Chain A
Amino acid sequence: MTKRPLSVWEHAQLKGYSRREFVQFCTWLAAAAGIEASAVGQVVHALETKARVPVVWFHFQECTCCSESFIRSSHPIVADILIDLISLDYTETLMAASGHQAEAALHESMTKHQGEYLMLVEGSVPTADGGVYCCIGGRTARDILVEAAAGAKAIVAWGSCASNGCIQAARPNPTDATPIHELVSGKPIINVPGCPPIGEVMAGTIVHLLTFGRIPQLDGLGRPLAFYSRRVHDTCYRRPNYDAGLFVESFDDENAKRGYCLYKVGCRGPVTYNACGVMRWNAGVSYPIQSGHGCIGCSEANFWDNGPFYQHLAGFPGFGIETTADDIGVAVGAATAAGIAVHAVTTNIRKRKLLEVRNEPAGPAPSAGEKR
């Protein structure tokens, strides 16, 4: 006899939650996932009928800052997600099992829930030298990724490492660190970039997957539109200063004290898609710009290579640190002006005869090909 897995509601009842508490929780989840109030019913229905989703969470080339951010998400609190919504069968940093036991748990979950489990990946995968730069249990990260991805229902790439390579993929990228979407095809992949991503954004993404059983609406770079459709700049509370041309010129000036726009000291807000300006960090306490430092664009691809962080234009590759396109442009412009000056002088010397014709009023103009 096969046992039907319990739905989230049944599971909650077993644990002594009341109907009111359950609906409250659903409303909360809906808000976190950016779902409007009229659709709360759908969320309730989904959790009444759906079983808890098996989840495996991998850690490859990463610093665990995504996990740290996730376990600090405040709405909905991570305990609720971890315990009530998903069945976290494998995660190196949080599980009690280790060694062979851990591997066994992973394989059991992958075989039992073939095609059903949700795969969360933190970190990039090195591909240089056969992938030796990241091995777990004697196998390369790439091996593990490909095997686990084959049976996954959907994959979530946590953070900039998994979405675009982050610091280990910065020039010269010695280990060939590669983001997940370049190694796996044929599976829905959601990129949740950021270093780390905002905890609530991570929670919201999972909630959407769990309640609707399908991936949220994504943009051209595979990011959930609910959180990545606007630039930090568009939701920045300092934006009026930008529009008024009020800029901080250096971090210790009067303008910095007044809270002017950090654009000229290198803020990447105008080129960075994230929800920092709206959701903020640490339960809505603050975010970099609010703390007086420009955005470094941590959720954008290649942000490490687009430095220096404290100037607006990036350094131009191949021309030395802090050489911007403008420096090169000025040099090329000056060279052009010099070339023009030389050309103008030379013209008057070389074409002297031709030009003198003008001073001979009745003289016939020399025709083409004639010796002058």
Chain B
Amino acid sequence: MANLQRVYVWELPVRLYHWVNALCVTVLAVTGFMIGRPFFPHIGGEAWQNYSFGWVRFVHFTAAFVFFFNFLGRIYWGFVGNEHARWHQFLPFGKGRLRRQAKEIGQVLRVDVLLAKDESIESVGHNALAGVTYFATFLVFLFQSLTGFGMYAAMSDAKLPRLFAWIVPLMGGDFAVRQWHHVFMWFFVVFSMVHVYLVFYHDYVEGRGVISSMAGGWKFVEKPKP
């Protein structure tokens, strides 16, 4: 393995974003599910004796604000960060990027999903398919933020949620907004399963340190042939 060299791929803000986001999404999905379908044990007593469901909602709303600003931070970093963090990793426009992207998506599908024996994938950071998938997650982040704050606006005087109040009439009322907000929670569940599996898979098959790259930022790539 001597012909590998290490490359600094994920800068600190990207790593920080990743873990804050992972934490927020987990908390939001769990608390969100509890709000949508309360399953925690019946505590009993009188209503004045506890505020359990209120706390679940409080945690959900707090995590939502952290999630939202973390997301904004990542968008900002997409314009000032390094090559691997840039926006064109997700939206491959210009300079033949789109063609290269399409070609690599085909490669990734063959190698990772159909488990073809070989072909190496050029990308050091996100591979092409991952880039597109993450862009899709950004759209879902946006949708969850819009619908979440849209519902929150009705019970808040804060300025930020009020900016999203228009989504409720657009979707035809709170019920529809709530329903779709709930449906997309499942996207996060399925995404997380596949995402975590694929990271393990790549680390296992390629041995390029994908898992630890999100902790220290370093990946290993083959040295260019002399």
Q: A303–B190 contact, CB under 8 A? A: no
Query: Which residues does chain B contribute within 8 Å of A332, judged by CB atoms?
Result: 186, 190
Q: B190–A333 contact, CB under 8 A? A: yes
Query: Which residues does chain B contribute within 8 Å of A300, judged by CB atoms?
Result: 173-175
Kindly state whether residue A297 has any CB partner on chain B within 8 Å.
Answer: yes
Q: A314–B179 contact, CB under 8 A? A: yes
Kindly state whether residue A53 has any CB partner on chain B within 8 Å.
Answer: no
Interface residues of B in 147-205 (CB under 8 A from A): 154-155, 165-166, 168-169, 172-176, 178-179, 182-183, 185-186, 189-190, 193-194, 197, 201, 204-205
Q: A350–B178 contact, CB under 8 A? A: no
Q: A240–B43 contact, CB under 8 A? A: no
Interface residues of A in 46-83 (CB under 8 A from B): none
Given known pairs A220-B166, A344-B201, A369-B120, the reply for A247 and B38 (CB within 8 Å) is yes
Q: B201–A347 contact, CB under 8 A? A: yes
Give the shortest distance, in Å, between A104 (CB) and chain B (any CB): 40
Residue-by-residue, is A264-275 near B (CB-CB < 8 Å gives 1, otherwise 0)?
100010111100
Known contacts A221-B169, A337-B193; 9 further A-B pairs (Cβ under 8 A) = A220-B168, A243-B54, A244-B54, A245-B42, A263-B38, A325-B179, A343-B197, A351-B115, A369-B120
Give me the 5 closest cross-chain CB pairs, A-B, nearest first: A368-B120, A329-B186, A220-B169, A271-B174, A240-B47
Measured CB to CB, the residues of A under 8 A from B are: 219-221, 230-231, 234, 240-247, 255, 263-264, 268, 270-273, 297, 300-303, 306, 312-314, 325-326, 328-329, 332-333, 336-337, 340, 343-344, 346-347, 350-351, 354-355, 358, 364-365, 367-370, 372
29 examples of A-B residue contacts, CB within 8 angstroms: A219-B169, A220-B165, A220-B166, A230-B154, A231-B154, A240-B47, A244-B50, A245-B38, A245-B43, A245-B50, A247-B38, A247-B42, A255-B42, A300-B174, A303-B175, A312-B37, A313-B179, A314-B175, A325-B183, A326-B36, A326-B186, A329-B186, A329-B189, A333-B189, A333-B190, A340-B194, A354-B205, A367-B222, A369-B120
